Amino acid sequence: MAKPKILLLSDDLRMNSGIATMSRELVLSTVHKYDWCQLAGAIQHPEKGKVFDLSQSTNEMKKMKDAYVKLYPIDGYGNEQLLFQVIAMEKPNAILHFTDPRFWGWLYFSHATDLLEHLG
């Protein structure tokens, strides 16, 4: 049976902010129960537009065989179009927004109803 997949909206878990550090701990502590994909935010992300599959390195680190960790680095904490694209590709079972919401105003103040409809 496939593990549930969670889309994490937070600071890039590879970075060193407090949110990034806690995001990394959350993912690594639960990767045996959940698959993870992340809109990996930063104010000006140096790797925006790239995709990083950290599954193999996570498997090696955690001594597992079925880890799934994929990052979508975003500049300026993303937008609804990018969010909908990642939802369509990854088909998450849940979304976890774990960060300071002031950088994600677009998520809460524009088309929140559209997001709920898109999730089905």
Residue type, 60: E
pLDDT digits over 28-73, tens only? 999 999 999 999 988 888 898 899 999 999 999 999 999 999 999 9
pLDDT digits over 17-27, tens only? 999 999 999 99
pLDDT digits over 102-120, tens only? 777 777 765 556 666 666 6
- What pTM value is reported for the model? 0.87
CATH code of 16's domain:
3.40.50
How far apart CA 51 and CA 44 sit, in angstroms, is 16
Strand order in the sheet with 94-97: 52-53, 69-75, 35-42, 5-11, 94-97
Q: Which domain holds residue 80?
A: 5-119
Q: Are strands 94-97 and 5-11 parallel, antiparallel or unpaired?
A: parallel
How many distinct structural domains can be found in the chain?
1
